[in-house]
């Protein structure tokens, strides 16, 4: 449990640090009785959040992540780009303007999927990264069979992530994350539904697969494009062309992304008290000798700096978070 109690400013700071800067207005006369719990943080994040009072929450335009609300109790109104949605069981896309009003009885399961994570799942199916953020239909309808099945997956993921087994089985956690992301792509209508429907992984040339596997296995080593080409059994020129055509990136950019994901994993572990070290320690561990460039690449992918990720353990709010307002 990250928070339980009536300190509005502390709750606001914790939620700002993990989601986005926002305005919080308490509408009830009686005190807030807030609850904020982190169930899982990794490739996707899962939280439980309730305020114990009627509130307005206005973060404005969402950063580079998908915000999915699954009500566990109570009710509320979610507004996206000025339109009140028919249900608070909803998906809000990156770049959309979001506001929410929750009752005092509301408890939400909040699923955060970074755009980079969802783009990666799409790239596996399409063979290239999408040129723009995917847009989902905003309301999740549990009466639709595939949507109901996906919601059961999310519930099972929450139960698994909350168990001792999750700590002992990081591979299992990774499989669950993939199931949640890919299940959403298949269950909820979006602008590429017809394109990805029923489609498995795109067929990549064996050379590209070998190079990608080599990156995953040797990311902690000082490897070069030439090393990747040797592992892939092709020339450097052919390897570059393969990555350009089939993954819409370069071998070194692909390796950098693998290392960034590993660095983020380590920073989140430190923030949660499961490891020791500084941002510099983690950057150097994964081959980022220039801290400024590391910070720039990291922020571009995850929407926050490495230091902000590391401060999550203390609930330190992101810069720009406005103060809570009670009324």
pLDDT tens-place string over residues 198-226: 666 665 688 888 898 898 888 888 899 99
Q: Does the structural domain 1-202 have CATH classification 2.40.50.140?
A: no
- What local confidence, expressed as pLDDT, does residue 227 receive? 94
The more confident residue out of 126 and 304 is: 304
What one-character DSSP code corresponds to residue 321?
P
Whose CA is closest to 43, among 139, 180, 159, 155?
Answer: 180
- Average pLDDT of the residues in 222-231: 92
pLDDT at position 185 over 90: yes
| Lowest model confidence (mean pLDDT) among 90-94, 299-303, 306-310 | 299-303
Length of the chain: 327
The domains of the chain are located at: 1-202, 206-312
Give the list of residues 6+ apart from residue 22 with CB closer than 8 angstroms, or none: 12, 15, 16, 57, 58, 59, 60, 321, 322
Q: Which CATH class is domain 206-312?
A: mainly alpha
pLDDT at position 319 over 50: no
Same fold, 1-202 and 206-312: no
pLDDT at position 197 over 80: no
- Average pLDDT of the residues in 80-105: 95
Distance between CA atoms of residues 275 and 272, nearest Å: 8
pLDDT at position 171 over 70: yes
- Average pLDDT of the residues in 270-279: 84
């Amino acid at each position: 449990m990250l928070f339980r109690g009536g300190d509005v400013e502390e709750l606001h700071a914790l939620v700002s640090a993990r989601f986005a800067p926002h305005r919080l207005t308490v509408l009830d006369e009686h005190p807030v009785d807030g609850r904020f719990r982190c169930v899982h943080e990794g490739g996707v994040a899962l939280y439980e959040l309730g305020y114990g009072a009627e509130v307005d929450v206005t973060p404005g335009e969402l950063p580079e992540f998908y915000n999915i609300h699954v009500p566990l109790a109570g009710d509320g109104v979610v507004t996206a780009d000025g339109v009140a949605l028919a249900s608070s069981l909803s998906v809000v896309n990156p770049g959309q303007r979001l506001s929410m009003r929750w009752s005092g009885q509301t408890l939400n399961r909040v699923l955060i999927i970074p755009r980079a994570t969802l783009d990666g799942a799409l790239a596996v199916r399409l063979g290239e990264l999408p040129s723009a953020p995917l847009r989902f239909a905003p309301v999740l309808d549990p009466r639709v069979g595939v949507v109901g099945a996906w919601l059961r997956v999310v519930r099972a993921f929450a139960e698994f992530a909350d168990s001792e087994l999750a700590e002992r089985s990081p591979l299992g956690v990774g499989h669950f994350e993939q199931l949640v992301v890919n299940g959403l792509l298949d269950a909820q209508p979006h602008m590429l539904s017809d394109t990805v429907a029923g489609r498995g992984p795109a067929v990549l040339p064996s050379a590209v697969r070998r190079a990608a596997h080599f990156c995953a296995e040797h990311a902690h080593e000082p490897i070069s494009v030439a090393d990747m080409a040797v592992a892939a059994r092709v020339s450097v020129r052919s390897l570059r062309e393969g990555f350009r055509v089939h993954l819409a990136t370069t071998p070194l950019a692909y390796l950098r992304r693998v290392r960034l994901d590993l660095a983020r994993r380590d920073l989140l572990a430190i923030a949660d008290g499961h490891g020791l070290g500084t941002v510099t320690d983690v950057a150097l561990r994964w081959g980022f000798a220039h801290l400024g460039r590391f910070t720039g690449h990291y922020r571009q992918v995850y929407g926050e700096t490495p230091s902000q990720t590391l401060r999550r353990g203390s609930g330190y709010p992101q810069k720009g978070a406005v103060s809570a307002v009670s009324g």
